[in-house]
Amino acid sequence: MGIDILVSNAIALLYPAAKKAAGQVAEGFLADFSDDAYAAAGRFLAWLKKKWSNNPKGQRAIEDLESDPEDEISRQALKARLAQAAEDDPDFRHELEQQIKASGAALSIFISVKDMEDITGLKVGEFKSGAAEVRIVGDKAKNVTGAEIDVLGDSPAKDDDAR
């Protein structure tokens, strides 16, 4: 998995945990997240916090995302920290990829169109676990669908140490 995709998946996976940490009400597709999906996101966040316990800049990037998950600057800052760490440390990159895979599905969708009309972005019949991030940018379109998925993820294995 390339670093760009890897860190995009990491941010998508962290998003629901950050929303919950910020005490924000789940909206849109997050309202349909299962307890397992939130648990998987929480385990991933706990792993990253532990991994970066001696990394003040990494900790700060996590804290900024947790305080305002909607802030694009915070997301991009954490994404940049993750990318740099993955580039500099092959062991971290491998662990990051394994943590994302162990958490269930991670999906990142970016749609850029000039004109829009009917935009789906993401349609999931059953969201069992994992994370999804959808970005749609444009001016005009007719019918645009980002993804239609019957079942996303499996029930992740429980990890008592990461809670």
**Helix residue ranges, H only, 52-153:** 56-67, 72-88, 90-103
Q: At what angle do helices 90-103 and 3-21 cross, to 10 degrees?
A: 60
With a CB cutoff of 8 Å and minimum separation 6, the contacts of 24 are 69
pLDDT at 156 over 50: no
pTM of the model: 0.62
pLDDT tens digits for 31-80? 545 566 677 788 889 999 999 999 999 999 999 988 888 888 998 999 99
Dihedral sign, CA of 14, 137, 74, 25? negative
Angle ∠(13,17,22) on CA atoms, nearest 5: 140
The percentage of the chain sitting over the pLDDT mark of 70, rounded to a whole number, equals 53
Query: What is the pLDDT, as a whole number, of residue 48?
Result: 95
Q: Which of 65, 60, 55 is nearest to 10 (CA)?
A: 65
pLDDT at 96 over 90: yes
Query: What is the pLDDT, as a whole number, of residue 79?
Result: 93
pLDDT band (50, 70, 90) for residue 145? low
Mean per-residue pLDDT of the chain = 75
**Domain locations along the chain:** 3-158
Query: What is the DSSP track for 11-41?
Result: HHHHHHHHHHHTTPPP-GGGGG--HHHHHHH
